[in-house]
Amino acid sequence: MLLAVECLKMGLLDPPTIQQGIDLQQKLAGEGKPMPLLEVFVRTKKLSLEVAKGLMKQQKLEKLPAEGNPAFIPGYRITRRLGKGGMAIVFEAEQEATGEIVALKILQPIHNGKPVEVERFRREAQLLREFRHENIVRGLDLGETKGLHWFAMECVRGESVQAALDRDGPLDEDRALYVIVHVAKALDYCQGKGILHRDIKPENIMVTGEGRIVLCDLGFAKPIGSTEGDAAGQTCGTVQYISPEQARGARDVDIRSDIYSLGATLWHLVVGQVPFAGGESMEVMAKHVLEELENPRAKNANVSSHLHYFIMKMMAKEREIRYQSPKELVDDISSQILGKKSMVYTPGGGPTTADELFDAPPPDAAMAPRADPVRRVPSSDRIPRRRR
């Protein structure tokens, strides 16, 4: 039954086909010809042999480390599973040569026969090894073992911002902007390297116990301006945070698309729900393209006028109206909220200017609330509107 569930979740087989396979398996068993369900699907040509082999590897991977770990990935001892996404499974592992605890990301074998997915996985591994920024997860090693594509990266000790939202509800303004500024700094670094992230969302942002904000999952990242590997009209990213141009399947997306997704993330952080919701992905994407964004202050009265301005400017339908770069966003938040010389109360001393504040973790704990700083409302409280 686990196999049937996996095939259904991955969209390999529909429920009627799965039920037909189970019925045939039971019939064969009654005739004294027992046959594994996977073989039934292969013999009836519902699954190719290549896909079946991928599923067999997948089943072995799913059992780690419960059934021991006899050099599954040479040089690494898998200790526990950290999580599973649509493309890969992530394990905690010990690097045997150094004793360092790392996160080991393994592409689900079912995707081995998809060149585009394999290339994305390899590109993510290579980018993380090349990048060196405090707000981007650090890549360590990569390889292929017995048909498994994998890479090792630093094991970030903390939780995703999505987990914090699920547990505590909306973040206060200072905490939310602390997260956004650090992610914007990571995006500024990516832009300097000519890379677009394309999947900014709370689930891909980690916060450590010391307050370090870490951007993860570059699986959809690609060179800015490149159309390689993307079919015309294809969309990438998570629909709740996707930019209008991504939703339309445009092939000329740039850093302003990531800024839109960061704005949708900021909305979620302070409102507690996504800006556009719906039952179907196409419905949500259509809203990003066509529907006017609701005033976040209607959802949360604590949203200040300047935070309202930041969100609406980041999420403008037309990218010419948005912030044109992550640096412009960081500079605006710094100047409008704190001012370059504004003093901020910090228990026990610590950062006292906007620059220092955003370059250091909160004084007490990850995303810890601070005393209200001196704030300046934007000189123009006019919200950017879509040109007609």
- Give pLDDT tens digits for 27-55: 888 888 888 888 888 888 888 887 777 77
Domain residues for the domain of 102 are 76-154
- Residue 134: give its domain's CATH number: 3.30.200.20
Report pLDDT digits (tens) over 186-231.
999 999 999 999 999 999 999 998 889 999 999 999 998 876 655 5
Residue 199 bears catalytic tag: yes
The answer on 242 and 310 residing in a single domain is yes
Does some domain include residue 164?
Answer: yes
Are 224 and 160 spatial neighbours (Cβ–Cβ below 8 Å)? Answer: no
> Do residues 143 and 191 both lie within one domain?
no
Structure confidence at residue 373 (pLDDT):
33
Percent of the chain with pLDDT over 90: 49
Number of folded domains that form the chain: 2
Query: Contact at 8 Å (CB) between 131 and 179?
Result: no
Q: Are 114 and 182 in the same domain?
A: no
Mean pLDDT across 12-16? 85
Tell whether 242 and 300 lie within a shared domain. Answer: yes
* Mean of pLDDT over the chain: 82
Catalytic: which of 199, 217, 258, 372? 199
pTM: 0.78
Alpha helices in the chain (DSSP H): 2-9, 15-30, 37-43, 49-62, 115-130, 161-168, 173-192, 244-247, 255-271, 281-290, 305-314, 326-333, 354-359
Q: What is the average pLDDT across 350-375?
A: 42
- State whether 162 and 141 are in the same domain: no
What pLDDT was estimated at residue 71?
56
Q: Degrees (nearest 5) of the Cα angle 211, 164, 333?
A: 55
Q: Would you state the pLDDT for residue 244?
A: 95
User: For 17-28, what is the mean pLDDT?
Assistant: 89
- Give 233's pLDDT tier (boundaries 50, 70, 90): very low
The whole-number average pLDDT for the span 76-93 is: 88
296-315 pLDDT tens trace: 999 998 899 999 999 999 99
pLDDT one-digit tens code per residue, 236-288? 779 999 999 999 988 889 999 999 999 999 999 999 999 999 889 999 999 99
Query: In the prediction, which pLDDT does 1 show?
Result: 57
